[in-house]
Amino acid sequence: MSKSSLIIIRTLLSRLSNGEFCSGQILADELGVSRTAVANYINQLQQLGLDIYSVRGRGYCFAAAITLLDAAQINIAQGAKRPQVLVHEITDSTNSQLQQRIKAGLITELGATIVAEAQTAGRGRRGRNWYSPFGTNLYFSMYWRLAHGMQAAMGLSLVVGLAIVRTLRQHYGVDAKLKWPNDVYINEQKVAGILVELSGQVDADCDAIIGIGLNIHMPSTATDNIDQPFTTLSQHTTESINRNQLIINLQTELIAILTEFSQSGFSCFVSEFNKVNQYQDQAIKVISTTEKVGICRGVDKQGALLLETTHAIEPIYGGEISVRGHQ
């Protein structure tokens, strides 16, 4: 998308963000384009997941008022000497954009973050698509470095999950839980996912890109694009959700917990994780290269899942948990 198109879309979004109707002719005059062009831009936003009403004689209106991400607002609210937050309107993937900037030497500061209003190629673990509608959720990627190589990443996705749980509990009063190894749940439904991507040497400095997708609101079309049970933060809190402030709170919590993790490893987080473990002491199935059934006994000091089978308690270092038919 061209720079001029992005400017027009940003202006259009700002004009409609109050949730009130505005005629196509007024929008065309303000933007300096034709009414047909306005309709095309509206269609692009609808394709990105925005709920926009179009009513003859009244014009266009968002289904609900939205607060757009604002880099200036975020960086002012952060205060001095805080890692940079870059805001993209529409991008392929915040993880990909952060990775490109790291490779180009444009980002070197730990905690530097990229967020976006929408992703066109958002992804989760194992290459799965991550549905990323515009202006409704949080698409967040942060840079960190592990001084002792990739082996120091054991448990990394788990402490990232703990940072999300702490943020949701402290600021929104939500009883969030963690599903090993990379999902956040509320009331047994997924509200957030984590994708950690590493680059570097096994025994040398390792760059970590920490990607987080957090459902805040979802458009009415979401169920057509997501193939598993999900929920949103807004369904479980009476607190106002300002995404700009949420970004600051999450970045702050992540920096604090990752600083401790870099110094001490995962062992000091075992007890905290097990207290918020979605399936603690429940019957589960772990799916990896093989399938194993047993009782979830939490995690060990390396972040491995402890599965109690009929033979022993076995550490599991990779895979996914399923509880269907095993509860």
Is residue 220 very low, low, confident or very high in pLDDT (cuts 50, 70, 90)?
low
CATH class of 3-62: mainly alpha
- Any idea which fold 279-322 has? SH3 type barrels. (2.30.30)
Is residue 327 very low, low, confident or very high in pLDDT (cuts 50, 70, 90)?
very low
Whole-number pLDDT of residue 225: 67
Determine if the pTM surpasses 0.85. Answer: yes
What is the C-alpha separation between 45 and 66, in angstroms, rounded? 14
Residue 127, pLDDT > 70, answer no
| Candidate list 125, 145, 292, 297, residue with the active-site label | 125
190: annotated active-site residue = yes
Is residue 222 very low, low, confident or very high in pLDDT (cuts 50, 70, 90)?
low
Q: Which whole number is the average pLDDT over 286-314?
A: 93
Domain ranges (residues) in the chain: 3-62, 71-273, 279-322
**Tokens 């609808």 -> residue:** 46
49 vs 295 pLDDT, higher one: 295
Q: What is the 3-state secondary structure (H, E, C) of the chain?
A: CCHHHHHHHHHHHHHHCCCCCECHHHHHHHHCCCHHHHHHHHHHHHHCCCCEEEECCCEEEECCCCCCCCHHHHHHHHCCCCCCEEEEEEECCHHHHHHHHHHCCCCCCCCCEEEEEEECCCECHHHCECCCCCCCCEEEEEEEEECCCHHHHCCHHHHHHHHHHHHHHHHHCCCCEEECCCEEEECCEEEEEEEEEEEECCCCCEEEEEEEEECCCCCCCHHHCCCCCECCHHHCCCCCCCHHHHHHHHHHHHHHHHHHHHHHCCHHHHHHHHHCECCCCCEEEEECCCEEEEEEEEECCCCCEEEECCCCEEEECCCEEECCCCC
| Candidate list 166, 177, 179, 190, residue with the active-site label | 190
Output the CA torsion sign for 18, 23, 26, 28.
positive
End-to-end CA distance of the chain: 48
Binding residues: 93-95, 119, 123-125, 190
| Candidate list 56, 81, 126, 324, residue with the active-site label | 324
Q: What is the 3-state secondary structure (H, E, C) of 114-156?
A: EEEEEECCCECHHHCECCCCCCCCEEEEEEEEECCCHHHHCCH
CATH class of 71-273: alpha beta
Q: Are 252 and 85 in contact (CB under 8 A)?
A: no
What is the C-alpha separation between 158 and 257, in angstroms, rounded? 11
Q: What is the pLDDT of residues 275-288, one digit of tens each?
A: 999 999 999 999 98
Structure tokens at 153: 């990443």
Q: Which whole number is the average pLDDT over 172-182?
A: 96
Binding residues for biotin: 93-95, 119, 123-125, 190
